Amino acid sequence: MQLSLEPSELTRGTTVDRGATRIDDQTGQALSVAATVMRDGTVMAPTEAGEEAAFFERHPVLAEHARRLLWSGRTNVRYSYISEDDVWHLVSIHALPDGFGDQLGRVVVQRTKPPFRLTLRELDVLTLMTAGHANQHIADCLDIKLRTVTTHVERILVKMGRLSRTAAATVAVDFGLLRLPTPGGGRNLQPLTVGLLDDGEASTDSRSGETVHRRGPTSAPRPLVIGTPLSLKGLAASDAREMMMSARLAVQEINAAGGVLGRPLELREMSCDIGDAEDVGRAVKSLIDHEVDAIASGYSAAEIQIQEMMADYGAPYLHCATMEAMVDRVRQDPDRLSNIFQICPSDISYGPRFIQFLDQLSQSGQWNPHSNRVVVIQPRWSQMDVGLRRVEQMADRRGLKLEIIDDLPAQGIDWSQVMRRVHAADPCAVFLAYYFPEENIAFLRNYLADPGRALVYTLYGPSVPAYREELGAAAEGVIWATTTGRAPSEQAQNFANRFEKMHGKPPGHSHAGLAYDRVHLLARAWHETGDPRGFRSVCEAIRRLPYRGVNGMYFMDNAGQSVSAPDPSSVDPSLSHPHLIFQIQNGQQALLSPSPEGQNNFRTPPWIAGKRYRLPAQYRAGV
């Protein structure tokens, strides 16, 4: 395969020449700039070329590289430089004589697309590979797994069309595919010329022979970046906005206190549709390509894919998928998935806790069921398991007859057909085993158009304020459960107050607290280890250090690296995350179980009590 860098790989758009600066005539941005650097690092850009002066002022490290080249006695170098806005640049520096027997550095910087479609991580691996380092040393420098390096090397050779590491290294040197700053410091690239340019390394004055140690130009510390794939316009968008607002609150508070290790925190929010596995994968890949320091996510239809991508990357992945299947994957492959954490209890307790709650209501005399039939509705969601096998066993022992409806899609459900099956069963309770607010709302509207005498018990969706905002009084009496939420505590109330002060409205009762807590989990681990890019040590800190957050105690030192389910009767958030059951009463969330000192009592839903809620006309017409 012949190596060629097409013009489209080096520039973007149509260009016009303005002196030494090439300008994109569509964006007005410089595609290439040039300047001369004196031996002391002073930049001399043409007075008429404001683009050059501005560019080198924004990127002073380039002048420092030129100064180092002049001090080294070498005459030229080419390398790749990635700016803070993730733009790739090809940098060429040549030592040229001036009129006084000294040398000047001519620096030419050209904006480029990633050659051979390399990712940033692949460029790092190629850089160290070109210096002759073995895979294990590369893994140590980048703090990733040996297997991951091997995979990167294979992909690099395929993308570059080369059969050997030596051939790929030759191309890298010829075309400047060596990244500065170098992972692990300039010593990892010596004796290559580019290795002499890195910050903090010694260089020798070619005239005096004196070894000079110089620091690079000072700049603001690089922020610690948390990647967050969010479904801001897709499925569960209202929940994603809750998570985003909570994470922003945590970042603001931590930065106001000085950040972590003197570095500010930053969120990189990537919009995607969590119901579209391909779209989620694209978002996570983009975050990895941006070399975020961790990824914190809610839930998606692509959890297995994300786990595999994050295992290759190595950075901590904190998710709230609430799936025992995801926890079990970590148990089965603890070495490869050692950076994967589920920061809430799993879904398998939802079903059994539903049956136990019906027992409590019936035995306490608060509810008198009119039949022994129960309908369970579980739309298809990959890997979800609410413990139906155990539910069937528990129901059989209690003389309950179950009808399970599990042949429904995750979105766009025809609820009119479902209602026919529900009414035919005439159940005493309907268990809607589904998380997302959109279909939860659609179900209730259809049910209330012709209500039966069943309790409506669902999962999580009503925790999002948008559920009550959209349904209004129609939500009265709905019961819902969550494996993680804000149990009554001073810490939880203080969080809610600060959230409302920042955003002008109160937070939801579940993932709002989780999104806030996971930022603090990462910040604590980074502070504890002192090395945010030391992924393995950061993950070990997350695993072994207990943390008391808004939603309860986080302690994940177990085989599945997940918050464990607590005793169902415990409301103490210092032990784990209590399994909470709420009922919407007078438009508010009333905690029914576990309720401290019987604070709230169950209320018979209005459709059972004969107080039928009449839906607005626009909704009656649609059901």
Q: Where are the domains of the chain?
A: 7-203, 224-346+489-554, 349-482+586-620
CATH class of segment(s) 7-203 = mainly alpha
Q: What is the CATH number of domain 224-346+489-554?
A: 3.40.50.2300
Is the model's pLDDT at 449 over the cut of 60?
Answer: yes
Is the model's pLDDT at 614 over the cut of 80?
Answer: no
Is the model's pLDDT at 518 over the cut of 90?
Answer: yes
**Tokens matching residue 49:** 């070329």
Query: pLDDT tens digits, residue range 492-503?
Result: 999 999 999 999
Q: What does the alpha-carbon distance between residue 69 and residue 197 come to, in Å, rounded to a whole number?
A: 7
**pLDDT given at position 417:** 93
SS3 265: strand
**Tokens matching residue 305:** 């894919």
Name the pLDDT band for 487 (thresholds 50, 70, 90).
confident
| pTM of the predicted model as reported, rounded to 2 decimal places | 0.68
- How much of the chain exceeds pLDDT 90, in percent? 58
Q: Which of 7-11, 162-166, 250-254 has the lowest mean pLDDT?
A: 7-11
CA-nearest of 138, 133, 511, 155 to 314 is 138
Sign of CA dihedral 238, 240, 246, 248: negative
Topology, domain 349-482+586-620: Rossmann fold (3.40.50)
- The residue type of 296 is A
Backbone φ/ψ region at 409: left (φ over 0), alpha (ψ -120 to 50), beta: beta
Residue matched to tokens 């766009």: 412
Question: What is the average pLDDT value for the chain, to the nearest integer?
Answer: 84
As a whole number, mean pLDDT of residues 470-498 equals 93
**pLDDT given at position 232:** 87
Residue 126 sits at φ, ψ, to 5 deg, of -60, -40
Angle at 79 between CA 76 and CA 82, to 5 degrees: 145
**pLDDT given at position 68:** 85
**pLDDT given at position 401:** 96
Q: Please name the residues in contact with 172: beta carbons below 8 A apart, sequence gap of 6 or more.
A: 126, 127, 129, 130, 178
Q: What does the alpha-carbon distance between residue 179 and residue 172 come to, in Å, rounded to a whole number?
A: 10
Q: Establish whether domains 224-346+489-554 and 349-482+586-620 are of one fold.
A: yes
Is the model's pLDDT at 190 over the cut of 90?
Answer: no
Q: What does the alpha-carbon distance between residue 610 and residue 605 come to, in Å, rounded to a whole number?
A: 9
Instruction: Between 141 and 459, name the one with better pLDDT.
Output: 459
Query: pLDDT tens digits, residue range 23-60?
Result: 454 444 557 888 888 877 788 765 555 677 788 888 88
Q: Please name the residues in contact with 528: beta carbons below 8 A apart, sequence gap of 6 or more.
A: 541, 545
